[in-house]
Amino acid sequence: MHERPCDLAPEEVGPARRRWLLAAASLPCLLAACGTSAPARKPDAAEGGYWSGRLSLRVDSEPPQSFAAVFELRGAPGRGELKLSTPIGNTLGLLQWSPGQASLDDGRRVQREASIDILLTRLTGAALPVDALFGWLAGRATPVPGWRPQLDRVNEGRLQAVRESPLPRADLRLVFEPAPAATDAP
């Protein structure tokens, strides 16, 4: 009768069979590694920055509102893109802006406005200081009337900014990390 390798005691399994079992056990890990996507391309300095992570926004309105999403922010204050998604990857909205124009694609329709502020308010419930956000994520205390950024943990990938005026109060929190650098491999 032929015994299966799993039914044998370790001392009864020969070196060739041990290598085969190790290779077979490693196969799922190797296949998973081959199936991963290439790292996101990090824009060069002319294109601006790139950050990704999670954000939450709480607005102390009546009734209180809260918004949470996974985010990808690319570009610079004058021209950029903000993608907001659910934790499982469904896109909530893709905001794009350039001087004098902005658009929000929520998967059903594309809305256009003269500024990103109007569209962000529709999507999240509060106007967010996108221009200053680029500075804050880079650790710079870019001033915005009514907003108080806490930049002491930016190097750890954490940012909090509180809007105290105009009311209602808003609390923005981001946990982020820069995108991995693209490799030079062909």
* Residues 21 and 95 grouped into a single domain: no
Q: According to the model, what pLDDT value does residue 47 have?
A: 60
* Residues 54 and 28 grouped into a single domain: no
The answer, as to whether pTM is greater than 0.75, is no
Percent of the chain with pLDDT over 90: 58
- Work out the average pLDDT over 114-119: 89
* Residues 59 and 113 grouped into a single domain: yes
pLDDT at 109 over 50: yes
Between CA 80 and CA 100 the distance in angstroms is 13
Percent of the chain with pLDDT over 70: 70
Answer whether 149's CB lies under 8 Å from 159's CB: yes
* Residues 169 and 117 grouped into a single domain: yes
Q: According to the model, what pLDDT value does residue 13 have?
A: 43
* Residues 84 and 140 grouped into a single domain: yes
Summary mean pLDDT of the chain? 77
In a domain, 38, yes or no: no
Q: Please return the burial class of 168, using the count of CB atoms within 10 Å of its CB with bins 0-12, 13-18 and 19+.
A: middle
Confidence of residue 178 (pLDDT cuts 50, 70, 90): low
In a domain, 2, yes or no: no
pLDDT, greater one: 69 or 123: 69
In a domain, 16, yes or no: yes
pLDDT, greater one: 9 or 109: 109
pLDDT at 176 over 80: yes
Between CA 17 and CA 7 the distance in angstroms is 13
Q: According to the model, what pLDDT value does residue 34 have?
A: 33
Q: Note the pLDDT tens digit of each residue in 17-64.
A: 433 333 333 333 333 333 333 333 344 444 689 999 999 999 999 999
Structural domains in the chain (count): 2
In a domain, 141, yes or no: yes
In a domain, 12, yes or no: yes
* Residues 23 and 87 grouped into a single domain: no
* Residues 26 and 86 grouped into a single domain: no
Supply the range of the domain harboring residue 141: 49-178
Between CA 41 and CA 44 the distance in angstroms is 9
What is the domain-level CATH number for residue 100?
Answer: 2.50.20.10
pLDDT at 164 over 50: yes
* Residues 54 and 134 grouped into a single domain: yes
In a domain, 133, yes or no: yes
Answer whether 77's CB lies under 8 Å from 97's CB: no
In a domain, 39, yes or no: no
pLDDT, greater one: 163 or 12: 163
* Residues 13 and 94 grouped into a single domain: no
pLDDT at 131 over 60: yes
Confidence of residue 181 (pLDDT cuts 50, 70, 90): very low
- Work out the average pLDDT over 137-151: 95
* Residues 96 and 17 grouped into a single domain: no
- Work out the average pLDDT over 140-160: 95
Q: How far is CA 115 from the centre of its chain?
A: 22
In a domain, 183, yes or no: no
